Amino acid sequence: DTGVSQNPRHKITKRGQNVTFRCDPISEHNRLYWYRQTLGQGPEFLTYFQNEAQLEKSRLLSDRFSAERPKGSFSTLEIQRTEQGDSAMYLCASSLDRDGADTQYFGPGTRLTVL
């Protein structure tokens, strides 16, 4: 297992277009997280799944954002009608719940540029 993977690694799109990112977690991990990171800032939490259930969503996650984890394995993050302010690095992380002492393992990220 090579760790958390994310595809694509880079995405350039025009304002108003829809984009979808994929995250494949470490295989036995039941928790999956999405974060967004803009230049000069630390990652900001977007949403979290326990198996296929989306349990927490940040208020940063506007109606244009939707995330799914249909079979409790990979996850997708879709942004509809992209705006220039959506340009950022989107990070995925996964963890295995062990009595609350889980460690989040991060993927390499998908860098989104909205023109």
Is 111 a binding residue for another protein by CB under 8 A? The answer is no
- The smaller minimum CB distance to another protein, of residues 13 and 58, is found at 58
Is 110 a binding residue for another protein by CB under 8 A? The answer is no
What count of residues does the chain have? 115
Which residue of 20, 30, 87, 108 would you call a contact of another protein, by CB under 8 A? 108
Is 45 a binding residue for another protein by CB under 8 A? The answer is yes
Site string for another protein, 9-28 (x = CB under 8 A): --------------------
- The smaller minimum CB distance to another protein, of residues 45 and 74, is found at 45
Is 90 a binding residue for another protein by CB under 8 A? The answer is no
Helices (H), 1-115: none
Cβ(110)–Cβ(41) under 8 Å?
no
DSSP, collapsed to helix, strand or coil, labels residue 113 as strand
Is 33 a binding residue for another protein by CB under 8 A? The answer is yes
Which residue of 11, 29, 31, 69 would you call a contact of another protein, by CB under 8 A? 31
Is 72 a binding residue for another protein by CB under 8 A? The answer is no
Q: How far is CA 58 from CA 12, 14, 111, in A?
A: 25, 25, 20
Please give the Cα distance from 109 to 115 (Å, whole number). Answer: 19
Please give the Cα distance from 16 to 13 (Å, whole number). Answer: 9
